[in-house]
Amino acid sequence: MTVAQEPTGLNFDCETGNYHTFCPISCVAWLYQKIEDSFFLVIGTKTCGYFLQNAMGVMIFAEPRYAMAELEEGDISAQLNDYEELKRLCLQIKRDRNPSVIVWIGTCTTEIIKMDLEGLAPKLEAEIGIPIVTARANGLDYAFTQGEDTVLAAMAHRCPSKVTSEAEKEERNAIQKLLTFGRKAEETAPTSEPKHPPLVLFGSLPDPVVTNLTLELKKQGVEVSGWLPAKRYTELPVIEEGYYVAGVNPFLSRTATTLMRRRKCKLIGAPFPIGPDGTRAWIEKICSVFGIEPQGLAEREAKIWESLEDYLQLIRGKSVFFMGDNLLEISLARFLIRCGMTVPEIGIPYMDKRYQAAELALLEKTCQEMGVSTPNIVEKPDNYNQLQRIKAIQPDLVITGMAHANPLEARGINTKWSVEFTFAQIHGFSNARDILELVTRPLRRNNSLKDLGWEKLVQEEATV
């Protein structure tokens, strides 16, 4: 494998504190949208259901393609037969929605009561005739975005290893189809075999971003054979032994491991394609693995930086504190340091130093090049302690979960919700502006309030 060595110049800490992130079952909120023929069934308690309904802001979408299998006292106390109960619900889902796949999302509760989802699924799948994928997106083992990791790791098992019919091949290769559609016949007719071993990318991104990153690689002569996940479950990419795989998100270490160990793929360890620096590094790394000399990337990156100048002026020299939430922290910090910011602390729920090795190395390099001190990386931070540090440091911006934003603002600390970076389109060259649009919004807003002399409006309200 091509994973880089662990960097050494960074300071890692693990507070194992009481910290807040969203529950990993959150991932259904974006995965059910991404995989259009799916249905997600979260098997848990009222606590799980109420979370999805309220905190994720999805309460307005009545009957989306996900639901709760709400465990009642009878289920918990094992008086009822799990198989029969789940069968009843899945048949109902089949009748009402007829999805191509049902994804069972296990929760803390299914862990604690040791419900054997992995054992039940194959049997039920065979009986009702709909694929059932199980993922243990529980809060005992995972934080927030890692829910996606558990689902993708489970789906990695379901990617076909060989395609028999041409028709299916056609379907599986939907991206290629999209990109060549409308071209003249002679351009595409001799389906040119790619000049490198097949490459599959993993990580759930909105469709426009998928197309964009695919195109960026295509420009360099790199063909993407497929994405995990695809727009539809029936279009999951073919994965054969020896295929190369690369991740686009920093929280997919389990998926990476599964692809390497179980599907015998070769992982390309690169920084993540977030920010123009990260995107360039990601493309370069992929090209280098395939022995391709990338063309015009430096100019491309420079041009993007140039177009960001109006935003950069707002943040240069300012400090940003990551409380830690969605595991995008390292990549975002690296990009913002490159933008000229300083980062005293990066809180992060979980730090896989191997999977994130290339990203950590780039972070270190970026700090050196920008001449700023390296951030303190705090795994499983203690939010109370962090608030004390924020009070002491008075950073210009705190990127934080939703629970702390309003109280920090009330104390005169600029904040940005970390969760917005989870939902916004932040990958690739074109989306760098969108990251900075988010990052600068509180600064721009509070600048305009400051001009008014309203700064002390709430600052004296209370002390942290």
Partner 1 sequence: MQAKKSGRIQPTGGRDSMKLAYWMYAGPAHIGTLRIASSFKNVHAIMHAPLGDDYFNVMRSMLERERDFTPVTASVVDRNVLARGSQEKVVDNITRKDREESPDLIVLTPTCTSSILQEDLQNFVDRAQLDARGDVLLADVNHYRVNELQAGDRTLQQIVQFYLEKARKKGDLPTEKTAKPSVNIIGISTLGFHNQHDCTELKRLMSDLGIEVNEVIPEGASVHNLKNLPQAWFNLVPYRELGLMTAQYLEQEFGMPCVDITPMGVVETARCIRKIQQLLNAQGAGVDYEEYIDHQTRHVSQAAWFSRSIDCQNLTGKKAVVFGDNTHAAAMTKILAREMGIHVVLAGTYCKYDADWFKAQVSEYCDEVLISDDNGAIGDAIARLEPAAIFGTQMERHIGKRLNIPCGVIAAPIHIQNFPIGYRPFLGYEGTNQVADLVYNSFTLGMEDHLLEIFGGHDTKEVITKGMSADSDLNWTKEAQATLNQVPGFVRGKVKRNTEKFARERGLSEISLEVFYAAKEAVGA
Which one among 3, 4, 178, 260 touches partner 1, defined by CB under 8 A? 178
In Å, how far are 43, 95, 101, 224, 413 from 89, measured between CA atoms? 11, 10, 14, 38, 47
* HSE toward the beta carbon, residue 228, CA cutoff 13 A: 30
36 touches partner 1 by CB under 8 A: yes
How far is it, in rounded angstroms, from Cα 394 to Cα 22?
25
How many residues are listed for the chain in this entry? Answer: 464
Region of 207-215, 266-274, 336-344, 365-373 interacting with partner 1 (CB under 8 A): 207-215
Binding mask 68-97 for partner 1 (x = CB under 8 A): xxxxxxxxxxxxx----xx-xx--xx---x
| Binding of residue 134 to partner 1 (CB under 8 A) | no
Three-class SS state of 168: helix
Q: How many residues line the site for partner 1 (CB under 8 A)?
A: 111
Identify whether 229 is preceded by a cis peptide bond (ω within 30 of 0): yes
The span of 194-202, 284-292, 314-322, 449-457 binding partner 1 (CB under 8 A) equals: 449-457
67 binds partner 1, rule: CB under 8 A: yes
Closer residue to partner 1, CB minimum distance, 2 or 64 = 64
What does the alpha-carbon distance between residue 143 and residue 158 come to, in Å, rounded to a whole number? 24
Q: What's the distance, Cα to Cα, between the start and end of the chain in Å?
A: 47
Q: Which stretch binds partner 1 (CB under 8 A): 124-132, 139-147, 267-275, 353-361?
A: 139-147
Whichever of 217 and 360 has its CB closer to partner 1, that residue is 217
d(CA 164, CA 3): 33
Q: Which residues contact 246 (CB under 8 A, 6 or more apart)?
A: 199, 201, 202, 267, 268, 270, 282, 285, 286
Site for partner 1 in 295-314 (CB under 8 A): 303-304, 307
When asked if residue 452 is in the footprint of partner 1 (CB under 8 A), the reply is: yes
Of 4, 12, 15, 37, the residue at the interface with partner 1 (CB under 8 A) is: 37
How far is 450 from 456, CA to CA, in rounded Å? 9
Q: Of 52 and 287, which CB lies nearer to partner 1 in the complex structure?
A: 52
Write out the binding residues for partner 1, residues 213-242 only, by CB under 8 A.
215
292 binds partner 1 (CB under 8 A): no
Is residue 322 a contact partner of residue 348, using CB atoms and an 8 Å limit? yes
Q: Which of 5, 54, 161, 373: binder of partner 1 (CB under 8 A)?
A: 54
Q: 346: closest CA among 399, 401, 402? A: 399
Q: Is 23 annotated as a binding residue?
A: yes
Considering beta carbons, is residue 73 or 166 the nearer one to partner 1?
Answer: 73
Return the residue of 415, 418, 421, 426 that touches partner 1, per CB under 8 A: 415
Q: Confirm whether residue 367 is marked as ligand binding.
A: no
Beta carbon of residue 34, minimum distance to partner 1 (angstroms, whole number):
10
CB of 150 to partner 1, least distance (A): 13
DSSP string, 403-453: HHHHHHHHTT--EEETHHHHHS--BSSTTHHHHHHHHHHHHHHHHHHHHTT
Q: Does 128 bind partner 1 (CB under 8 A)?
A: no
Q: Does 47 bind partner 1 (CB under 8 A)?
A: yes
Question: What is the 8-class DSSP label of residue 66?
Answer: E
Instruction: Out of 163, 174, 314, 402, name the contact with partner 1 by CB under 8 A.
Output: 402
Cα separation, 351 vs 369, whole angstroms: 24
Site for partner 1 in 338-397 (CB under 8 A): 349, 384, 387
C-beta of 112: minimal distance to partner 1 in Å?
A: 5
User: Which tokens go with 90?
Assistant: 């899945």
Structure tokens at 441: 């919004």
| Residues of the binding site for [4Fe-4S] cluster | 23, 48, 108
Binding site residues, as ranges? 23, 48, 108
